[in-house]
Amino acid sequence: MLILFVSFASCKSTKVSNKSINHLSGKTIVKKNKDASLDQLVIKASMFIKYRGKEDMPNINASLRMVKDSVIWLSFSKLGFPIAKLKVTPEEVKFYEKIGKTYFEGDFELISGWLGTDFDFLKIQNLFLGEALLNLEDQKYQVNIVENNYELRPKKENVLYDIAYWIDPYNFKIMKEEVRHVEKNQKLTILYKDFDKINESLFPKGFLITAFGDLQTTIIDVSFKNVQFNAPLKFPFKIPSGYRNIEFK
């Protein structure tokens, strides 16, 4: 199930040396990142997902349909056969899988448990769109140039978690972000490898999620293909009868 949230990989950007990167303020970098954010409202794409965790799972294909700020719908298949569906809205999460005949209807506890850190609708949406999980405008940042990227770290320390962003100096998209919960001994790293320019908009080719925890390490590798904007969409979802509810203890 964790495989659902993987998928992010990124933009082929022109690499430059540290010497040729302009030294910009954190405020300027955040503004340029916002200006580069995806402005498409309706997204349709195919996905290829690899999942490695406590129990490695076979690679699968998925279909993504999204209306920004409204609904995220995923249908998973293996060898052309549908095996699971997921529907996420700002209010709830619905999921079912055919192999074990289980389903879930509820809040974001399911997804947060999969990824080892708190997730809500906006974070999931931003993950797929190649945007920062948290609002960059909420902080002031210390800026360094590290490995040909701008490294942003909040000037004000957060008592709950440490966070850092690495932003491409060419297209100002996020190349990597890391969230560390010190008390919980958890770390989530999202790596965006490349971005394609589609209809004048930058969309990630895919992403790599690595979640470290006390009990296990989970790696989700997602690649996008056949990305379309503004295609007509439907979101069919009906939990089959006789399925067992997934319960948290």
Residue 158: band (very low, low, confident or very high) from pLDDT cuts 50, 70, 90: confident
**Measured distance CA(61)–CA(116) in Å, rounded:** 23
For 214, the enclosing helix (H) or strand (E) is none
* Type of residue at 173: K
Environment class of residue 79 by beta-carbon count within 10 Å: exposed (0-12), middle (13-18) or buried (19+)?
Answer: exposed
Q: Which residues pair with 203 in a beta bridge?
A: 196
Q: What percent of the chain has pLDDT over 70?
A: 88
Domain boundaries, the chain: 2-231
On the question of pLDDT at 236 being above 70, the answer is: yes
Q: What's the average model confidence in pLDDT over 72-94?
A: 95
Domain 2-231 indexed as CATH 2.30.30.240: no
**CA quadruple 171, 63, 113, 8: dihedral, nearest 10:** -20
Give me the DSSP letters along 169-229. TTT--EEEEEEEETTTTEEEEEEE--EEEETTEEEESEEEEEEE-SS-EEEEEEEEEEEEE
Backbone angles phi, psi at 91, to 5 degrees: -100, -30
Residue 20: band (very low, low, confident or very high) from pLDDT cuts 50, 70, 90: confident
Q: State the pLDDT at residue 3.
A: 40
Q: State the pLDDT at residue 115.
A: 65
On the question of pLDDT at 57 being above 60, the answer is: yes
Q: Between residues 71 and 16, which one has the greater pLDDT?
A: 71
> How far out from the chain centre does Cα 115 lie?
10
pLDDT digits (tens, 9 = 90+) for 29-56: 999 999 999 999 999 999 999 988 766 6
